[in-house]
């Protein structure tokens, strides 16, 4: 997904986000018990929101309302925070890595919109077999961490990074805390 498009959505307070006519059915998933929809305009895929076989017209309003609440909470936190960390994960199974200039532009745009908050941008990249985390300061409040993407607890072929390692690094280096409610964490 293009970072610039994501930042534009935040700059616009998500006002055009998740319109009913922009989603198209992709397929049903017996594994998750959900119907998968994708946004033609934004490239978002909604894997976890639409019950399998349920009417789109009946379920869309509740899905949209859920994301409106989340967007409002995110914008409220950004407006009331002194310092915000933006994290972008480049998955190894996707062909286009995030451009560092786009990361710097994102920091500038967000600091302009949410002044006087300070924004840091963390780009997480994965490299199979990396033994230790490589940290690079890329300028303009942008940092890149590169780490092994094989979370060996999940089995071979997994692109998922080591979540406990990443969570520990975020808490240690950026004092990140989880804003989700206990029920949201449990559902996740």
Torsion angles phi and psi, residue 117, rounded to 5:
-60, 145
- What tokens does 73 get? 């909470």
Query: Are the beta carbons of 32 and 47 closer than 8 angstroms?
Result: yes
Has residue 162 got a pLDDT over 80? no
Q: Which of 45-49, 139-143, 150-154, 157-161 has the lowest mean pLDDT?
A: 150-154
The helix/strand/coil state of 5 is: helix
Alpha-carbon distance of 75 to 13, in angstroms, equals: 7
Q: With 0-12 CB in 10 A as exposed, 13-18 as middle and 19+ as buried, what is 56?
A: middle
Strand order in the sheet with 23-29: 23-29, 34-39, 45-51
- pTM of the model as a whole: 0.78
List, for residues 58-106, the tens digit of each pLDDT value.
999 999 999 999 999 999 999 999 999 999 888 776 666 788 999 999 9
Stretch (H or E) spanning 6: helix 3-11
Q: Hey, is 131 helix, strand or coil? A: coil
Least trusted range by pLDDT, from 16-20, 55-59, 119-123, 182-186: 182-186
Q: In this predicted model, what pLDDT tens digit does every residue of 21-69 receive, in sequence order? A: 889 999 999 888 999 999 888 778 899 999 999 999 999 999 999 999 9
Residue 168 parent element (H or E): helix 163-174
């Amino acid at each position: 997904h293009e970072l610039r498009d994501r930042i534009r959505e935040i700059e616009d307070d998500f006002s055009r986000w998740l319109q009913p006519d922009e989603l198209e059915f992709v397929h049903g998933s017996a594994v998750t018990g959900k119907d998968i929809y994708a946004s033609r305009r934004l490239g978002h895929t909604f894997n976890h929101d639409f019950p399998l076989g349920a009417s789109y017209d009946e379920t869309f309003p509740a899905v949209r309302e859920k994301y409106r609440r989340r967007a409002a909470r995110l914008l409220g936190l950004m407006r009331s925070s002194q310092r915000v960390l933006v994290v972008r994960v480049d998955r190894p199974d996707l062909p286009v890595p995030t451009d560092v200039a786009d990361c710097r532009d994102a920091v500038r745009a967000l600091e302009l919109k949410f002044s006087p908050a300070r924004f840091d941008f963390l780009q997480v990249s994965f490299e199979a077999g990396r033994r230790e985390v490589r940290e690079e300061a890329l300028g303009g409040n942008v940092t890149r961490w590169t780490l092994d993407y094989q979370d060996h607890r999940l089995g071979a072929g997994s692109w998922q990074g080591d979540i406990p390692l990443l969570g520990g690094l975020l808490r240690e280096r950026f004092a990140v805390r989880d804003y989700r409610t206990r029920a949201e964490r449990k559902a996740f």
